[in-house]
Amino acid sequence: MARVKRGKNKNQKRKNVLKKTKGYRGRQKSHKRSAKEALTHAGRNAYKHRKRKKGDMRRQWQIVIGAAVKKHDLSYSRFINLLKEADVELDRKSLAGLAQEQPEAFDAVVESVMV
């Protein structure tokens, strides 16, 4: 049985791992085993935080909308309830954008819902 020589593949794999960990601190950038472990942890956290970012943005929009409806003596939850009752199909992202960039338009939305 002929033996398999893996020198080129092994070196290429090591080079790829170390290239991806460039900028890490300590052993994690220069030792293959530590670098590989650091990459798996980094990848796991990146995946988790991409999912978490969506909730963070939604919370930020809720804060902006809540602050904008306070001027009309409404709470955030009451305003969202009024929107649902009036069948207004605006999402939180667009409402927050309106509240920040076009306050007059947002005030018009609030007034139309309150009627």
The answer to whether residues 80 and 96 touch, using CB atoms and an 8 Å cutoff, is no
Q: What is the pLDDT along the chain (115 residues), one digit of tens a residue?
A: 888 888 999 999 999 999 999 999 999 999 999 999 999 999 999 999 999 999 999 999 999 999 999 999 999 999 999 999 999 999 999 999 999 999 999 999 999 998 7
Quote the pLDDT of residue 1.
80
Q: Does residue 8 fall inside a structural domain?
A: no
Quote the pLDDT of residue 115.
77
Quote the pLDDT of residue 74.
95
Torsion of CA 72, 74, 75, 78, to 10 degrees: -140
Quote the pLDDT of residue 60.
98
Quote the pLDDT of residue 64.
97
Q: Does residue 51 fall inside a structural domain?
A: yes
Q: Does residue 104 fall inside a structural domain?
A: yes
Q: Does residue 19 fall inside a structural domain?
A: no
CATH number at residue 69: 1.10.1900.20
Q: Does residue 16 fall inside a structural domain?
A: no
Q: Does residue 93 fall inside a structural domain?
A: yes
Q: Does residue 43 fall inside a structural domain?
A: yes
The answer to whether residues 113 and 68 touch, using CB atoms and an 8 Å cutoff, is no
DSSP secondary structure string for all residues of the chain: -PPPP-HHHHHHHHHHHHHHTTT--GGGGT-HHHHHHHHHHHHHHHHHHHHHHHHHHHHHHHHHHHHHHGGGT--HHHHHHHHHHTT----HHHHHHHHHH-HHHHHHHHHHHH-
Q: Determine the structural domain holding residue 96 and report its residue range.
A: 24-114
> What's the number of domains the chain is made of?
1
Q: Does residue 44 fall inside a structural domain?
A: yes
Task: Provide the 8-state DSSP code for 30.
Answer: T
